[in-house]
Structure 1
Amino acid sequence: MLDYIFVIFFMGFPGVQILVLVSSIFLAIKRNKLHKRVYGLFFPIIITMCNIWLVSIDRTELFDDALRFSFFLISFCLPMLISSTLYHSIRLYYLYKSIKWRVFPVSLCYLFGLIFHYLNTMHWEELFRGQKFMFNILLISTVIVSYLPCQYLYTLQRRKNNP
């Protein structure tokens, strides 16, 4: 599976990243014109995709997969995660102007999700040594931390609409 992903993103570099980012900005602007709130799902979806690709790597060919994974991480995962973190921070800052102080913890959660994903990729080699516990803990914490802001913004909006 990683071979196909590697070929797709190698041929589409940097077009795929730009296409995903522009389409998400277009959808966010369109939803903003409809006065609907965006709950920050772009970052968790991207980080979940990166973690799924991290888990689905064939671990039989260590050297080839390590090179492919490093290229995939540097060329796709990290730029997409950093751009989605910045995008959500800026978007939420302008969307929730009246409660700017609540945007800071949301941005901080996105930053922690990015750090957990980076730590998870650092522990990727430990899977070859059979130490899967730390990898699973970091994977679960990445998912929890990345989806917390969405739940927080959804609850905040529900409370605001239903006093």
Structure 2
Amino acid sequence: MIFLLRHGRIKDHETKRFIGATDVELDPMGIDQALYWKKAFSSLNFEAVHSSSLQRCTRTAELIANDKKIITSPALNEIHMGKWDGCSFDQIKQQSAKEFEKRGKNLDTYKTPGGESFHDTSCRAVPYFKDCATTLKNNILFVTHAGVIRVILCHLLGIKLADLFQIKISYAQLFVIQPDLPS
């Protein structure tokens, strides 16, 4: 089985902002969420644990995996929001209203200044995921971000990237996937 897990809740999660490549820590609830999954997964033996290289994911993976080696890859990192990274939605709406609107109309292809699009994210995350998943013999865990999980699920389910926000994802939400992946 393939397990896709979003990292636990982060510090300062209350402010709606573009986090992307900003390296933020888990908050106490996020740590508790990871410990919940550690207990829930206790009877599973993961063949591999893959994680984004950002600390909110690596910490989640470390809390779950015990002594199991964690393979980190920037291919699983969240979409890079460039100059918008770390800024609140309100701040971007005020400073770059037209660009914010363009992004909303072209979610799949719009690149923030100095950043990447969801198409770019898909082009790095999906091949990495597929490569890891095709070598599967037993259970495999991916600890990553909402944006990455969305682009992977869009690929697997045949959903257009422009519609990726139809997939709602909470902190520490788990998706379980059968290993017979489409190409």
TM-score, normalization by structure 1: 0.34
Q: Normalized per residue, which structure has more strand? A: 2
Answer 1 or 2: higher relative contact order, Cα 8 Å, separation at least 6: 2
Greater Cα radius of gyration, structure 1 or 2: 1
